[in-house]
Structure 1
């Protein structure tokens, strides 16, 4: 997910996070492996890794390192602080039980969508989506539902900041086409995803809005394209989903 920034990064901080990214994509790795991956001197990687270890952010086992569960603690704390989490969780569970599909609660942070809670129905299919997954808003139903219900100037800033990268061959990557679809989403109240994030998967997403009408998150229902199609996708599921998001909005307003 490419992002444009005019800010000059602090190299030592960037190096530390580059090391964490290497460890995030491996079970564990040693100093030499990390240095080779980042094209850095082993002495540089060693100093940064030992600092991360001293703060409890990585754990050493023999000659290799892995990310520690400190990040789990941080992530759960942040998720639980979001006003949507406690209110939306019961409705997500209900929708999964009623539709037998996968249901997600997604929020927007810093211009991307973050999956904070999901529930599985009896016929759910597994995809790359997971709790904590960060996804470009234009690539999936919940993300487009959120994007359509942000202030106009914020939408343009997000489009300027992030490239409209393709997740699949169906992902919308043209700005004018995306803007047109966002207008349609605002008019009908929900977004559709035709294999735009995962090949073979369709989804519908609806925003959860605050009292000013801006999206603070979204709920989506996803399933196999051969099952979620026709009136089920364009009428039945949206009606069910809009009822659920309306209940969430009412509960949020009085919580």
Structure 2
């Protein structure tokens, strides 16, 4: 496995906030394996919440000014992204994904600046980024994932970006009107991954938004309808895209 992935894995394992989630995840892996366990990330996060609350309370006692509400939201979002990344790394180790696949948790990356930036007059537009997956083979697509515990968050940034991409391909008049520039040098695919904590994903206004993503996943072991898929499908999809 590549050094950068070993580094990412070690960083996750050393993160105090996610210790309980990883402990619970290991039990699911024993019962369901590295692929199917993706569909239980919602349950794992719920089960680990009491441990997170204990950490928050301890930190509040040490620092009375500690904002537990803000910290709770931040930890939930980061833990979800870390769990998805951790399972993807385990699946690379297991041989379920190509060993040359690079997967990182990041908000910015030079590959996005180079291949996924749309110029809108004097401004730029980029997709929302939580995880990125790519191969060093430039003919292979880049996959950008937005990982959201709530669809009230910034998922809209990515579908606006995708709409602009489609405009640059199919609407010359709008390209000229809004001064759009997007020389597509490498294919970029987008994915939304959600825990669906608030049961939003089946609501009509949210389902309409999902059509703008190439992949839409829910980290929950429930029956879903297209375009939504269970998160365990991410392994098959990555293998097909990068084959």
Structure with more helix by fraction: 2
Answer yes or no: same fold by TM over 0.5: no
Structure having the higher Rg: 1
- Relative to the length of structure 2, the TM-score reads 0.27
Q: TM-score, normalised by structure 1?
A: 0.26
Name whichever structure is richer in strand by fraction: 1
Q: Which has the higher contact order (CA 8 A, sep 6+)?
A: 2
